[in-house]
């Protein structure tokens, strides 16, 4: 058994706030009955859960590595700039993936995407002290470039 809102997020329906709006609108049915309470417990293995009449199937955990090129912002949405979400294959665009961490628009490098919030948190939250290494190339001398951070960021 799991919460309905978590199941919907895991299916790639949207963020928690988006799922809340979808539920309030009565678009989700569990065994044919409209369900508006995201905290309701559901069993996807034995119950039929639909959105606008379409049967939903949980995708499971996805972890994707992408070499982000320059010119894209690490965000799921941006009204002006191109986002890293545009780089995902079409079949993964609605899988509930989010970038883990940030790379500046002018940076390139490895970016992790996942639909697993706990996994993302274990990589990003400072209490887990996951060490990250960055390589930087500059033109000219940069004072203090040899400095190492005293703690992981």
Instruction: Tell me if residue 106 is catalytic.
Output: no
Q: What is the mean pLDDT of the chain?
A: 87
Which two three-digit tokens encode residue 47? Answer: 């119950």
Model confidence at 140, pLDDT cuts 50, 70, 90, reads confident
Better-scored residue on pLDDT, 42 or 142 = 42
Question: Which residue in 5, 37, 104, 116 is the catalytic one?
Answer: 104
Q: Helix, strand, coil shares of the chain as percentages rounded to 5?
A: 20, 20, 60
Name which of 57-61, 72-76, 98-102 the model is least confident about: 57-61
pTM: 0.61
pLDDT of residue 142: 67
User: Between the ranges 35-49, 106-120, 125-139, where is the mean pLDDT highest?
Assistant: 35-49
For the stretch 8-26, pLDDT in tens is 987 878 788 889 999 999 9
Question: Any idea which residue has 């996807």 for tokens?
Answer: 44
**Can you tell me the mean pLDDT for 104-131?**
89
Question: Any idea which residue has 């940076």 for tokens?
Answer: 107
Residues 118-139: b if buried by 16+ CB within 10 A, e if exposed? eebeeeeeeeeeeeeeeeeeee
Better-scored residue on pLDDT, 27 or 91 = 27
pLDDT of residue 111: 94
């Amino acid at each position: 058994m799991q919460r309905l809102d978590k199941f919907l997020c895991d299916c790639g329906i949207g963020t928690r706030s988006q799922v809340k709006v979808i539920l309030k609108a009565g678009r989700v049915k569990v065994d044919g009955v409209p369900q508006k309470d995201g905290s309701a417990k559901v069993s996807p293995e034995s119950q039929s859960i639909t959105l606008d009449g379409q049967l939903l199937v949980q995708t499971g955990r996805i972890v994707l590595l992408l070499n982000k090129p320059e010119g894209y912002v690490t965000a799921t949405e941006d009204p002006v700039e191109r986002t890293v979400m545009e780089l995902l294959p079409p079949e993964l665009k609605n899988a509930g993936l989010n970038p883990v961490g940030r790379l500046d628009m002018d940076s390139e490098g490895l970016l992790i995407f996942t639909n697993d919030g706990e996994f993302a948190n274990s990589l990003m939250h400072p209490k887990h002290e996951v060490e990250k290494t960055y390589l930087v190339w500059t033109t000219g001398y940069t004072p203090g470039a040899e400095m190492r951070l005293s703690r992981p960021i």
